[in-house]
Chains A and B, each alone.
Chain A
């Protein structure tokens, strides 16, 4: 199975730039998520890979073959649409068999393959049902089976789970991931839901303003965001304005020296930067608890959100709000108005130059 290469992809709609110079290398057999807010160009990029839109500039290569100008019906892609686009005049089985019928596959082979696919998506024996008789989750599976029927080189999904309720959506995410691992098909999922991307993907391409902001494994992106957009969009984070200290490996935040594990390359002392720390990495200290050599900010608890499973504490530190999250065992019992200290472990402090 070949890799997918996108080189210098640009897409204009009149004067609007939807996709702005995207270069991506998507390795074969991987599950890739295009993640970003609405209007970031992720769906347009997917549609160009499918051949449903033509790029204004740039080339798309599948392995050694340039497929930029190849029409959709000869690209060998399977796609699940946001609306699913199941054909209402056909039964479940006929929907799945549609691609094989176009290719004039022998009837017996088609029937066998349809049954096999129905097994694969856990809908055995439903081939003769009408599409209108299925539930939302079942339709989802039929659309997936139909897209996989022709063993596509690329399996593309355009926010297919957005219409499902939260619980079903989470279950389908896991199922989709397991299915992809089993088949080993190169898969691209477009989503605006970072949890969905974290659940399913080998690689996440975070997009904003028509550009890829960062590409990497889910944890890499979560732990080492490339810029403030990624840090803010993926999960929740505390962002504090900081400046590079003269002392190596440290930054100033509100007159306190913060040792950090890593500094971005080529930043001189005095340079304004942003410090990003995940709420679950922070420690809340009360009374005379030991700070273990970590940098601390002192402040007042403004609000406590205790939902049983986790406790979220909002602390006012010199006019800035810092959020600390932990399990009920980790977080000391505090209430609004308490004076506390927030400790920042050096390895959790990510310094962002932009």
Chain B
């Protein structure tokens, strides 16, 4: 009886934290999303579906599609670059891994604003990398590469790459080094062994990382404004815009809930796909 009491007590703490920091704010936002907006810039309690119905415009559907697509693209690029990188990193002696990991952590510690401004300078016409190419004779005159979709992708990938590596690192460093060696004794070249054995064996880690980076990229709202044109603004930017500039908190809340549900659905589909393929022989 006593033990039972103690275990409920132990569970009470995470329940309290979850409730205070997750469920309560989420509940407030869910409630806000059905409140009625008052023209003066505030809102009053109500139970109306207007905020959601207002989202059924081609513009909003286009934005949500763009946001999900951009985040997915960032996730794919980061994992495609980060997986071989992390694999090679884990094969290095421990002593030589440390500087790389410290460097990645340092990048992770940079603020999104700093990263955004740094890239906009690097991609600018006056002080950017294109001047270097002109100096090397590869370009005839300096070009401006920002703002634009490529610049935005570059910035987001730069931001998400250390994250990708750190998420992949634990599972790849635990991978049995004999897998690749076994493939080689069976006639596979190192490259073939990597794609034929290392990648499929790591599929759970790859899927988990894709989901993590996807969610990470969804939340970015500084970089799209710094490195993208207005047509590249993600939903996160529009949510900020609605809530802060247009004082339409109920609309912002409705957009947030919709984005949350859409990305949740995408994550669940990914997870289901991963499981189903595993069951097939």
How many angstroms from the CA of A78 to the CA of B203 in the assembled complex? 27
A52 touches B187 (CB 8 A): no
Encode A51-95 as 1/0 by CB contact (under 8 A) with B: 110000000000000000001111101110111110111010000
Closest to A143 in B: B182
Complex alpha-carbon distance, A99 and B186, angstroms: 5
Q: Of the candidates A71, A73, A128, A149, which one forms a contact with B281 in the assembled complex, judged by CB atoms under 8 Å apart?
A: A128
Residue B184 lies at the interface, judged by CB distance under 8 Å to chain A: yes
The residues of A that contact B281 with a CB separation of less than 8 Å are 91, 128
Partner of A102 from B176, B179, B186 at Cβ < 8 Å: B186
Q: Are A98 and B183 neighbours in the complex by a CB distance under 8 Å?
A: yes
> Cβ of A324: which chain B residues have Cβ within 8 Å of it?
none
Asked if B203 contacts A89 (CB within 8 A), the reply is yes
CB proximity of A17 to chain B, nearest CB, Å: 19
| In contact, B201 and A103 (Cβ under 8 angstroms) | no
Contacts of A102 in B (CB 8 A): 186-188, 192, 196
| Interface pair B185/A50, CB less than 8 Å apart | yes
A150 touches B187 (CB 8 A): yes
* Whole-angstrom distance between the Cβ of A98 and the nearest chain B Cβ: 5
What are the residues of chain B within 8 A of A128 when measuring CB–CB? 281
Residue of A nearest to B200 (CB): A89
Task: Digitize A9-45: 1 where CB-to-B-CB distance is under 8 Å, 0 elsewhere.
Answer: 0000000000000000000000000000000000000
Min Cβ gap A353→B in Å is 42
List B residues 200-215 near A (Cβ within 8 Å). 200-201, 203
In the complex, the chain B residue whose C-beta lies closest to that of A98 is B186
Give the distance in Å from the alpha carbon of A224 to the alpha carbon of B15 in the complex: 73
The answer to whether A146 has its CB under 8 Å from any CB of chain B is: yes
Q: Compute how far the CA of A231 lies from the CA of B182 in the bound complex, rounded to whole angstroms.
A: 36
Is A81 touching B187 in the complex (CB atoms < 8 A)? no
Contacts of A74 on B, CB cut-off 8 Å? 187
Q: Is B76 an interface residue (CB 8 A)?
A: no
Please report the C-alpha to C-alpha distance between residue A77 and residue B185 in the assembled complex, in whole angstroms: 6
A147 contacts partner chain B, Cβ-Cβ < 8 Å: yes
Q: A82–B176 Cα gap in the complex (Å)?
A: 11
Contact of B181 among A52, A146, A149 (CB under 8 A): A52
CB distance A81 to B186 under 8 Å?
A: no
Chain A hits for B197, CB < 8 A: 87, 89
CA–CA, A98 and B178, complex, Å: 15
**Residue from the set A50, A81, A91 with the largest chain B CB neighbour count within 10 Å:** A81
CB of B189 closer than 8 Å to a CB of A = yes
With a cutoff of 8 Å between Cβ atoms, the chain A residues found around residue B201 in the complex are 87-89
Name the distance in Å between B280's Cβ and chain A's nearest Cβ. Answer: 11
Give the nearest-CB partner of A82 in chain B: B178
B179 to chain A, nearest CB (A): 5
A73, B188: Cβ atoms closer than 8 Å? yes
Separation in Å of the B94 CB from the closest CB of chain A? Answer: 15
Tell me whether A85 and B186 are in contact (CB under 8 A). Answer: no
Q: Tell me how far the C-beta of A31 lies from the nearest C-beta in chain B, rounded to whole angstroms.
A: 19
Using A102-B192, A128-B281 as known contacts, say yes or no to A85 and B187 having CB atoms under 8 A apart.
Answer: no
Shortest C-beta distance, A176 to chain B (Å), equals 18
Contact yes or no, B179 A85, CB < 8 A: yes
Given A89-B201, A91-B281, A146-B186 contact (CB < 8 Å): yes
8 Å CB contact of A85 from B181, B192, B196, B203? B181
Closest to A74 in B: B187
- Asked if residues B188 and A85 are in contact (CB atoms below 8 Å), the reply is no
Is the Cβ of A81 less than 8 Å from the Cβ of B178?
Answer: yes
Interchain CB contact (< 8 A) of A87 among B179, B181, B187: B179
Is the beta-carbon distance between A78 and B179 smaller than 8 angstroms? no
8 A Cβ contacts from A84-131 to B: 84-85, 87-89, 91, 98-99, 102-103, 128
Inside 8 A of B186's CB, which chain A residues have their CB? 73, 78, 98-99, 102, 146, 149-150
Q: When the two chains form their complex, are residues A85 and B176 in contact, meaning their CB atoms are under 8 A apart?
A: yes
Q: Chain A CB within 10 Å — which of B179, B184, B192, B196 has the most?
A: B184
Residues of B within 8 A of A156 (CB): 185
Which residue from chain B places its CB closest to the CB of A154 in the assembled complex? B185
A82 vs B183: C-alpha distance in the bound complex, in angstroms?
Answer: 15
Known: A81-B178, A83-B176, A87-B197. A73 touches B185 (CB 8 A): yes
A52–B184 touching, CB < 8 Å: yes
Tell me the bound Cα distance from A72 to B183 in angstroms. Answer: 10
Q: Is B184 in contact with A72, judged by CB distance below 8 angstroms?
A: yes
Contacts of A98 in B (CB 8 A): 183, 186, 188, 196
Q: Which 9 A-B pairs have the closest CB atoms?
A: A85-B178, A99-B186, A85-B182, A72-B184, A81-B178, A79-B185, A89-B200, A102-B187, A73-B184
* Other contacts beyond A51-B184, A71-B184, A73-B188: 4, CB < 8 A: A52-B181, A81-B178, A81-B181, A146-B186
Subset of 24 A-B contacts with CB under 8 Å: A50-B185, A72-B184, A72-B185, A73-B184, A73-B187, A73-B189, A73-B190, A77-B185, A78-B185, A79-B181, A79-B182, A81-B181, A83-B178, A85-B176, A85-B178, A91-B281, A102-B186, A102-B187, A102-B188, A102-B192, A103-B187, A146-B182, A147-B185, A149-B186
Residues of B within 8 A of A (CB): 176, 178-179, 181-190, 192, 196-197, 200-201, 203, 281
